[in-house]
Homo-oligomer: A and B are copies of this chain.
Amino acid sequence: MTQRSTRAKKRMKPVAPPETLQIIGLKTLPEIRPGDDLARLVVQAAQREGAGLRRGDVVVLAQKIVSKAEGCIVDLPRVKPSLLARAWARKVRNDPRLIEVVLRESQRILRMDERVIITETRHGFVCANAGVDRSGVAGRHRVTCLPADPDKSAKRFAAGIRRWLGITVAVIVSDTFGRPWRLGLVNVAIGAAGLRVLEDLRGTRDAYGHPLRATILAVGDELAAAAGLAMGKREGVPAVILRGVRFRVGDGRARQLIRPASEDMFR
């Protein structure tokens, strides 16, 4: 042990202050209704919970509350299913009205099977059921859809925070998506404002002087996933503050995280 410790000491770099990021889940947001000012409600919840909101925070909003605030809710009894929706619903024993909403929210169908329809949403996101979701909304015959333009939603929220508190925060709107090859859902960014969502390290070098060739980090998605740890699904934490993140300020949009179909080997 002694010899190894000496070696370890020799290799030791100078001590730096610990790099600490905080993930703070907000638990006291009220039930969100169409027309609600999310920025105000988040400011109030953060104050109430003793977290406050600070310059440089990243606020991650669950898609669900953004959709609710924007009224992206569909009453199924009002939906007239198309022939395709009815045919498919019969085949997989699902609600034809739900299938119809999924089709309407899509611009392209990638796969259809008994469990799920994988589509490209109108925004270009590839996900299950075009992001149409029954959970997390009151009423048995209502579903939420993704916000019409989640990047704009994020921008609007950031502007709201600026109005209420006079500070600038970065914003991510997140949703839980499945992925090929790996099981389980992870939170990804479907909307963003005030930060770069991709960190392009190409052209830089690693600690050994090797050029980093293929290294673009999906910072927006890692922020969303980190917030996902505090969100859970059952726990009623629809907004999360990430504090101490060294992100790059910029005019990033979550759409930049979409791989162009022409460069996608799996679409």
- Kindly specify which of A46-54, A80-88, A99-107, A154-162 makes contact with the partner chain: A46-54
CB-CB under 8 A from A135, the residues of chain B are 206, 208, 210, 212-213, 215
Q: Does chain B have a CB within 8 A of A201?
A: yes
Q: From A263, which residue of chain B is reached at the shortest CB distance?
A: B183
Q: Does chain B have a CB within 8 A of A225?
A: yes
Count of chain copies: 2
CB-CB under 8 A from A126, the residues of chain B are 180-182
Q: Does chain B have a CB within 8 A of A73?
A: no
Inter-subunit contact B233/A182 (CB<8 Å): no
Known: A13-B27, A31-B11. A228 touches B217 (CB 8 A): yes
CA distance in complex: A137, B229 (Å): 31
CB-CB under 8 A from A51, the residues of chain B are 18
Q: Does chain B have a CB within 8 A of A148?
A: no
CA distance in complex: A214, B185 (Å): 9
CA distance in complex: A22, B41 (Å): 24
Inter-subunit contact A222/B187 (CB<8 Å): yes
Inter-subunit contact B229/A245 (CB<8 Å): yes
Known: A135-B206, A201-B233. A181 touches B28 (CB 8 A): no
Q: How many residues of A contact B (CB 8 A)?
A: 97
Q: State the main secondary structure of chain A at its contact with B.
A: loop
> Which residues 1-54 of A have a CB within 8 angstroms of B?
4, 8, 11-25, 27-28, 30-31, 37, 40-41, 44, 48-51
Inter-subunit contact A23/B21 (CB<8 Å): yes
Q: Does chain B have a CB within 8 A of A179?
A: yes
Known: A8-B30, A19-B237, A229-B245. A179 touches B176 (CB 8 A): no
Inter-subunit contact B180/A265 (CB<8 Å): yes
CA distance in complex: A121, B236 (Å): 38
Q: Does chain B have a CB within 8 A of A250?
A: no
CB-CB under 8 A from A21, the residues of chain B are 22-24, 229-230
Known: A179-B179, A182-B188, A186-B218. 16 other contacts (CB 8 A): A11-B31, A12-B48, A14-B28, A16-B28, A21-B22, A126-B181, A128-B214, A136-B206, A176-B217, A180-B267, A183-B218, A183-B259, A184-B219, A187-B222, A212-B233, A223-B229
8 A-B pairs closest in CB distance = A184-B218, A11-B30, A225-B225, A180-B266, A226-B226, A21-B23, A126-B181, A19-B25
